[in-house]
Amino acid sequence: MITQKVFLQIFKKASLCRNFEKIAFEQIQKKNIKFPTYLSAGQEFISATVSEMVKTLKIKPLIFGQHRAHSTYLSFGGNINKLIDELLGKKTGCAYGMGGSASIHGKEINMYGHDGHMGTQGPIGVGACFVSRHPTIVFLGDASAEEDYVLGALGWASTKKLPILFVVEDNNLSILTEKKVRRNWEMDAVAKSFNMLGYNIPDDPKVIYKYKKNLFKKPMLLNIRTNRLFWHAGAGQDSDKTFDRYKSLLKKFGEEGKKIDKYYFNKLNGLWKKRLEKQ
């Protein structure tokens, strides 16, 4: 059961992530960010909630992110200035300006950057977990989860009963191709076929948080249905009718939510301006 205090902390993290991406969107349009950028706006409650679940267990898991990983990095305590600098291509970035948006890395938070090949964080994360036996989280998109080596990694994780969580951030799209065109099965069913805990749930923090009780006790996969707000890459909007959980919960938190949202926008806007001035 999620407490109001934890729920508020999750909202604060989501607000940090949303406002970071809002400003990044503007910087792409202004051409201050000059390479493909994968914004996680719309999906921020997944990483925000999972990071709070882990926080209560007082452990620091290994984290293997997908290409859409800004919110993952921020939710788990990544350095904001280093993330800004990475998007600006600076040597002071979290991946020394060489990884860009798709390969967000933060050794200080045990987060290892995506290598650019779709879904390889699956077997790499399983391998790291198998060798170390350290609690591990692997984030996947719904398209990368379809890769054959991801399925093999799931089977190995189940067989070896690893302390691992697979999080499928399921926005229903592979660039622009919907799941119904690509497949007639869901990832929670695949997990169950490997004798692993598997669940298909919405990106509602109150729902996600319920699965804390099984975290790292045995292999588990959460296929979390969500929505990306912006294009696969870059600064464009998929649809003005896309459901936005952040706006929904912002309204729910009322004046307190507005204050939090304003605080993070002002804070991040100031940080972006400072980093841009050093260009």
Q: What is the pLDDT of residues 229-251, one digit of tens each?
A: 999 999 999 898 999 999 999 99
Q: Are 12 and 44 in contact (CB under 8 A)?
A: no
Quick one: tokens of 223?
């296929």
- Whether the predicted pLDDT of 279 surpasses 80: no
Q: Quickly state the pLDDT bin for 121 (edges 50, 70, 90).
A: very high
4-277 topology per CATH: Rossmann fold (3.40.50)
Q: Are 144 and 117 in contact (CB under 8 A)?
A: no
The more confidently predicted of residues 1 and 136 is 136
Closest CA relative to residue 252, chosen from 241, 244, 242, 264:
244
Q: Which three-class secondary structure state does DSSP give residue 141?
A: strand
Helices and strands (DSSP H and E) totals, the chain: 10, 8
Q: Are 70 and 101 in contact (CB under 8 A)?
A: yes
Q: What is the arithmetic mean of pLDDT over 205-209?
A: 98
* Rounded distance between C-alpha atoms, residue 85 and residue 94, angstroms: 7
Q: Are 136 and 164 in contact (CB under 8 A)?
A: yes
Q: Quickly state the pLDDT bin for 278 (edges 50, 70, 90).
A: confident
* Rounded distance between C-alpha atoms, residue 231 and residue 42, angstroms: 11
Please report where in the chains the tokens 């189940």 appear, as a residue: 158
pTM for this one?
0.97
- Whether the predicted pLDDT of 51 surpasses 80: yes
